Each structure stands twice: as C-alpha cells, then as structure tokens.
Amino acid sequence: MKSQSYLKGAFIISAGGFISKLLGALYRIPLVAFLGGEGMGIYQMVYPLYCILLTVSASGIPTGIARIISSNQCPFAERPAFRLYGAIGLVGSLIMFALSAPLAKAQGEPAVELCCQILSPAVFFVSVISIVRGYFQGRGNMLPTAATEVAEQAIKVAFGLILCYIFRGDALRGVAAAVLAVTISEVLSAVYAGLLYMRSKKSAAPLYFRPADWYKTILKYTVPLTFTAIAMPLSQLIESIAVVAILRGSADNATALWGVFSGCAITLVNLPVSLTYGLAAAGVPCISPLAERGDISAAKSKAARAMLMTLAISLPCAVILFIFSPLAADLIFGSLSAAERSLLVSLVRMMSVNCVTLSLVQTSSACITSLGRPLYGTITQWVTSVARVVLSAALVAFTNLSVSGAAISSNVCYLVAVLLNIWYIMRVRGAKNENNFSGIGNKARRFNAVR
C-alpha cells in the first residue's frame, strides 16, 4: 500500500470528491425533471435526519481514525472501530426507521415517512465505509477514499436513473425510488470498501491487544468530531422545519421554494467546495505527527499553508460560480420553471461567497483536529449552527426576503466560523493534546518492538 505526498494525496482526494460532486450535480438534471420542485422538496426533507444519524455513526471516523493511526498511537485502530461503530451504525439505522413517522408529521409531508424507512439501512453501511477511509487516510493513502466516493455516486446515479424512469410521472414514488438508489449505492460501496481493506497489508496487533481496551481511546477522539459534525445537519433539520413552516404562511409553494434552495442552490455551491476537500483530508497525516511530537510551530506552519492553498483554489471558483450561475442553472436545472430558475440564480450568486468560506471552514477544522484540539472545532460549529437557525427564521419571518433569508444566514454564519477557527489555530500553544494517547500508545509500541 503506497502513501502519497501531501500535494499528491490532496489532488487525489480532491479529484475524487469533485468527480463525485459533479456526478451528483449532473444527476440533478434528470432528477429534477422526474420529481419537479415539489418532489425535490420532499427529497431534501429526508436528508437532515439521515445526515444527523450519519454524523453520529460515521462522520467523525475518517479524521479521528486517521489522526490516531498517523500519530502512531494505535496503528490498528480500525479493528475496534469496526465493532464499535458498526454497532452504533446499526442502532442509527433502527432509530431512523423508528423516527420516520414523527418526522413526517413534524414536516407536514406524509411521503417523508416511507422515504426515511427506505433510507435507514444506509446509515449502517456508511459507518463501515468511513472506517475503511480513515484506515487508509491514516497511512497517507488517499486513493481508496477517492475510489469509494466515486463508486458511491456512480452507483447511486445508475440505479437512480433507472428507478426514477420506471416511476416517472408519479412524484411520490419517484422520490422513494431515488432514496432507494442511495441505499443500494451504500450497500455496494461498503462491499467494495471491505474488499479494498481485506486486500491491504494490515499492521500486526500486539499480543496483548483486545478491542475493548481501545474503545475509550477511539471515542475520546471521535466523539468531539462527531459533536462538531452533528451541528450542521441538526441545524439544517430544524431550519427545514422552521423555514418551511414560516414560508407556508406567505407562499403556496413553500416546499418547492425550499427544494430550490437546499436541493439546487446548495448543490451548485458545494460542487467547487469539493475541490478543496482533499487539502483538509490530506493535511491530517502531515500535521498530526508534528503536533504529537510537540513541534507546534511546524504544525501550524503546515496548517497555514493548507489554508492559503484553500483560499487560492476557492476564490477563483467563487468568481466563476457567480458569473456562470445562469448557465449552470439552465444546463443542470433546466426543467425548473422560469421563476424557479430565476430564484436559483439569485440564490447561487448570493451564496457564491460560501465557496470560499465553506472551503476554509473544512480545511481549518481539519487543521484544528490535527493539532489535537478537536473541541475548538466543536465550539465553532455549534455556535454558528445555532446562530444560523435563529437568523434564518428571523429573516424569513420578519422581512420580505423569503427563502433568500436562509441564504444570507448561511453566508454570515460560515464567515463567523472561519474567523473563529483561524483564531483558535493562532491560539494553539505547547505540545499538550486534549486527548492524550501517550500511555496506551507507548504500551502498544513497546509490545510491537518485543514482537
């Protein structure tokens, strides 16, 4: 198994992320044509709960496991993680199935119940995929992460197109078919990820190794990352309920308006952001060993380099997105009505600045984790997520901005998140980590040396 340099690893994972996002954006062309604005609104209503459960069962895993492995504290951390997060992922699937009816009632969309039930098994399989990604990232090999991301998206697109075509003309069944395609993609991608892991050369565990000994160690690092990541989907879930409910008081097409914002505009904004994801992921195995040795100055220097590279890539992307948003709306979402496309262009131009701020948020958050201060990122994410919900509801309710208020709110909150993260990175001093693995890590190294 080969490891890559920082730039090569960043390029590989960014290319994989961009291809994945591009496939997803192109997939929206026929998906919007099959489902329409109303169907897209229902489709997007399902995802916040799904993302929350994924966050708990999977989102902290790649960075957390990569951090533990790359710092040589536990080179076999993925093994107890399979048991621990496999169980958590299974519980997450059951919870999503159980909450499908209450969520549908809260959102006022009966179709959400069936969609949540169909999507629920995917939570478990994403957990498995995430552990494999963390294992390879910790060893400096970004290719499996890129490969599994592209595989996920390609499978989803293939099955989604087939199933949505079969149920064309019936928006509710079409949404259920599109959600089923997501579940199928995660199942098959988990099988692919498992094969990649089985074929890799795995490090030998020390003689004393018991998975239960490492659960606490893994949780100490992944739990702060989980709480960091859960803030965004949780705020999106609350925002979808609150904003749609407020919009229903002034518009007959509240669900369609939310679909244009969350299902179309955010899709276009997130596409260029994926180009910088590799800089965040590849930075973990480069910065973590320096921070673990106590060389904070060198670690912060690499973090600053990653931030500058992120800015250099994301800034031109924001300008391009602003200029060509009408063309992108016509090409990708041409099936929307003229009024909906006009709204989409307005929203994308308004949020084009998020190409920069959101890219810097993901890179700075990874740098904070690599420096051993994941709790700082947790504070940032929660403060800005709560502020986003409150500000979105206020702007939609007390101004004539309609759904554009949610776009302005996202701009403000991502900017605040960037500034907080940069401030935290500047404040990092000394060699002490929030999560101390040294005792158990040294024990592992001594046993490995004996062997």
User: DSSP for 348-407?
Assistant: HHHHTTHHHHHHHHHHHHHHHHHTT-HHHHHHHHHHHHHHHHHHHHHHHHHSS-TTHHHH
At 350-369, the pLDDT tens digits run 999 999 999 999 888 888 87
| CA diameter of the chain | 72
Q: List helix spans (H) across 108-170.
A: 111-119, 122-138, 143-166
Percent of the chain with pLDDT over 70: 83
- Residue 416 pLDDT > 90: yes
Backbone angles phi, psi at 89, to 5 degrees: -65, -40
CB 427 within 8 A of CB 303: no
Written as six digits, the tokens of 11 are 């390029």
Average pLDDT of 436-447? Answer: 42
What is the distance between the terminal CA atoms of the chain, rounded to a whole angstrom? 22
Q: What is the 3-state secondary structure (H, E, C) of 248-271?
A: HCCCCCHHHHHHHHHHHHHHHHHH
Residue 441: what pLDDT? 45
Give the separation between CA 253 and CA 442, rounded to whole angstroms. 60
Would you place residue 154 in the very low, low, confident or very high pLDDT band (cuts 50, 70, 90)? very high
Place of tokens 């929350």: 52
Residue 294 CA: distances (Å) to CA of 54, 74, 262, 365, 432:
33, 18, 42, 19, 7
| Rounded Cα distance, 312 and 360, in Å | 11
Whole-number pLDDT of residue 446: 42
Give this prediction's pTM: 0.67
DSSP 336: S
Lowest mean pLDDT among 80-84, 203-207, 332-336, 394-398: 203-207
Interval 103-107 mean pLDDT: 82
At residue 75, the pLDDT reads 62
> What distance in Å separates the CA atoms of residue 28 and residue 271, rounded to the nearest whole number?
12
What is the structure's pLDDT at 284? 67
Can you read off the two tokens belonging to residue 353?
């600045």
Mean pLDDT over each residue of the chain, to the nearest integer: 81
- Token pair belonging to 149: 């991301």
Three-state DSSP class for residue 434: coil
- pLDDT confidence of 451, banded at 50, 70, 90? very low
Residues near 225 by beta carbon (within 8 Å), at least 6 away in sequence: 59, 60, 63, 64, 369, 374, 377, 378
Flag whether pLDDT at 167 surpasses 50: yes
More confident residue, 169 or 203: 169
What are the angstrom distances between the C-alpha of 90 and each of 9, 124, 206, 215, 383? 31, 5, 29, 17, 30
Q: In this predicted model, what pLDDT tens digit does every residue of 38-59 receive, in sequence order?
A: 777 788 778 777 877 777 766 6
> Tokens 């994926």 correspond to what residue?
274
Per-residue pLDDT, 32:
79
For residue 451 the two structure tokens come to 């062997």
C-alpha–C-alpha distance, residues 396 and 419, integer Å: 25
Please give the pLDDT value at position 125: 92
CA dist., res. 63 & res. 228, Å (int):
12
pLDDT for res 143: 86
- Read off the DSSP letter of residue 55: I
Q: Is the pLDDT of residue 388 over 80?
A: yes
Q: How far apart are CA 197 and CA 19, in angstroms?
A: 22
pLDDT at residue 65 above 80? no
H/E run at residue 95: helix 78-107
For residues 214, 216, 217, 218, the Cα torsion angle rounded to the nearest 10 degrees is 90
Specify the amino acid at residue 373: R
Residue 211 has pLDDT above 60, yes or no: no
The predicted pLDDT at position 314 comes to 92
Top-confidence residue, 411 or 81: 411
pLDDT in tens, 258-309: 888 987 898 889 888 877 876 666 666 678 778 777 888 888 888 888 888 8
What is the predicted pLDDT for the residue at 291?
Answer: 79
Q: How far is CA 150 from CA 15, 164, 318, 346, 364, in A?
A: 9, 21, 24, 30, 25
19 has pLDDT over 70: yes
